[in-house]
């Protein structure tokens, strides 16, 4: 391995472009961060702090998702895999772990100090990567410098925000999120990065599996604790079956379309339509965040069976059903332009949303949500197995 080599842009059409071992290692640190966020949401809900955690969870998950996403698209265009590149990524990983360590403070006390420190470490390490790209890739220099300048400015503002509280803190957070989201749009207007559609599709698929895995873990741990506390298995059976149907169906719906071909179509229009990759990339905030929240909701459902929650049965049901609906709606919006018109695309998803929300007011919201999502899978399979009619 070389200590340093020129950070040239990768070919967006190169063959066999897959996730690297370093990227997979990078993702492992996000497993910790996602688990901390989901656990904070779960405990905040059952302890009666819903008004607080329903604000802090989206904020924490934004930091997690945004740092992961920015590195993913950068690496798709400029991964050189030399020693300096690897060290910079390891620094980003250290920042992720610092952020994860600060998540409980954010969600329990509203203390953003440690979390912001980790976030800034991640982001400034990426700035160093963009500066390397600017130095070595003249054609993409303006774009890379815009990224570096924009990210740095945002980090300075995040640090300054720590001095604010109350309404000023909330307003400044919203403003800074908007600024962060605007940086890539501003940078890409100066020149398109050479991200690889197959690589991006794989990376997003892998992160989807990570957040779904967190849902499986949350539910499993909850069931284990309940059984250790002598709760009869029959009392948990509907939550277990419903939870499995929900998570398995969520996986199926995400991978219902061949993601690589979908993102290839986005790549083909990238030069003329800047919005397409941003809709795909940014829309996944809701997919990822909702998938992790489903895990927290399943853990709440287990606590509800044990009467370890201050929530009413309806409120506990909503923690699962609303998260599942957000996931379904976000995924439907992302996939809709690429699916064949018909019942499976245009009718079944809206009906499923209504049925899932209605199940919140029944005695078995988890089971019914799982049945609805599984039924949607069946409808999709049957519909798309039929030849298209002219």
pLDDT digits (tens, 9 = 90+) for 166-217: 888 889 999 999 999 999 999 999 988 999 999 999 999 999 999 998 888 8
Residue given tokens 């986005």 in the structure block: 266
- Contact assessment for residue 123 and residue 154, using Cβ atoms and an 8 Å cutoff: yes
Question: How many CB atoms sit inside 10 A of residue 21's CB?
Answer: 8
pLDDT of residue 376: 95
- Alpha-carbon distance of 188 to 185, in angstroms, equals 5
pLDDT of residue 216: 84
pLDDT of residue 116: 96
pLDDT of residue 389: 53
- Alpha-carbon distance of 69 to 200, in angstroms, equals 10
CA distances from 273 to 58, 100, 147, 169, 279 (A): 29, 36, 19, 35, 11
pLDDT of residue 11: 87
Q: What token pair was written down for 255? A: 């991978």
Residues 6+ apart with CB under 8 A from 237: none
Per residue in 55-86, is it b (16+ CB within 10 Å) or e — as a string?
ebbbbbbbbbbbbbbbbbbbbbbbbbebebbe
Measured at the CA of 375, the angle between CA 369 and CA 378, to 5 degrees, comes to 150
Residues 6+ apart with CB under 8 A from 119: 63, 67, 95, 99, 155, 158
Q: What angle do the packed helices 313-335 and 348-359 form, to 10 degrees?
A: 170
Question: How many CB atoms sit inside 10 A of residue 11's CB?
Answer: 10
pLDDT of residue 298: 93
Q: Which of 326, 56, 74 is nearest to 211 (CA)?
A: 326
User: How remote is the C-alpha of 195 from its chain's centroid?
Assistant: 19
DSSP letter at 339 equals: S
Is residue 118 within a helix (H) or strand (E), and if so which, with residue range?
helix 113-136
pTM of the model: 0.92
pLDDT of residue 20: 94
- Contact assessment for residue 46 and residue 309, using Cβ atoms and an 8 Å cutoff: yes
pLDDT digits (tens, 9 = 90+) for 49-61: 998 999 999 999 9
- Alpha-carbon distance of 373 to 245, in angstroms, equals 7
Residues 6+ apart with CB under 8 A from 284: 65, 69, 204, 207, 330, 334
pLDDT of residue 41: 95
DSSP state letters, 33-47:
HHHHHHHHHHHHHHT
Enumerate residue ranges in the chain where pLDDT < 50: 390
- Alpha-carbon distance of 46 to 303, in angstroms, equals 8
């Amino acid at each position: 391995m070389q200590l340093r080599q020129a950070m040239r842009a990768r070919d967006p059409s190169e063959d066999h472009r897959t996730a690297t071992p370093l990227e997979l290692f990078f993702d492992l640190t996000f497993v910790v961060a996602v688990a901390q966020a989901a656990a904070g949401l779960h405990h905040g809900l059952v302890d009666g702090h819903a008004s607080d955690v329903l604000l802090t969870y989206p904020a924490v998950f934004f930091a997690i998702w945004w740092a992961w996403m920015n590195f993913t698209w950068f690496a798709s265009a400029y991964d050189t895999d030399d020693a300096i590149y690897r060290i910079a990524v390891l620094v980003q990983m250290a920042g992720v772990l610092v952020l994860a360590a600060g998540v409980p403070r954010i969600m329990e006390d509203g203390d953003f100090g440690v979390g912001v420190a980790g976030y800034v470490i991640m982001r400034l390490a990426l700035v160093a990567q963009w500066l390397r790209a600017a130095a070595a890739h003249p054609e993409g220099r303006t774009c890379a410098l815009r990224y570096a300048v924009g990210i740095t400015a945002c980090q300075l503002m995040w640090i300054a925000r720590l001095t604010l509280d109350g309404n000023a803190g909330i307003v400044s957070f919203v403003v800074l999120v908007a600024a962060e989201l605007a940086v890539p749009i501003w940078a890409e207007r100066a020149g398109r990065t050479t991200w690889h559609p197959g690589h991006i599709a794989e990376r997003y698929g892998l992160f989807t599996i990570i957040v779904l895995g967190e849902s499986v873990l949350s539910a499993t741990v909850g069931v284990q604790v309940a059984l250790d506390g002598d709760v009869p298995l029959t009392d948990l059976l509907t939550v277990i079956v419903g939870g499995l149907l929900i998570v398995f169906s969520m996986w199926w719906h995400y991978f219902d379309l061949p993601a690589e071909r979908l993102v290839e179509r986005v790549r083909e229009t990238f030069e003329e339509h800047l919005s397409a990759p941003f809709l795909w990339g940014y829309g996944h905030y809701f997919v990822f965040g909702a998938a992790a929240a489903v895990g927290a909701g399943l853990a709440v459902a287990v606590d509800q069976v044990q009467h370890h929650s201050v929530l009413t049965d309806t409120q506990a049901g909503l923690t699962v059903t609303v998260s599942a609906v957000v996931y379904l709606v976000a995924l439907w919006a992302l996939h809709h332009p690429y699916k064949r018109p018909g019942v499976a695309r245009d009718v079944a998803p809206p009906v499923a949303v209504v049925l899932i929300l209605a199940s919140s007011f029944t005695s078995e919201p988890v089971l019914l949500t799982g049945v609805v999502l599984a039924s949607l899978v069946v409808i999709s399979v049957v519909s798309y197995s039929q030849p298209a009619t002219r």
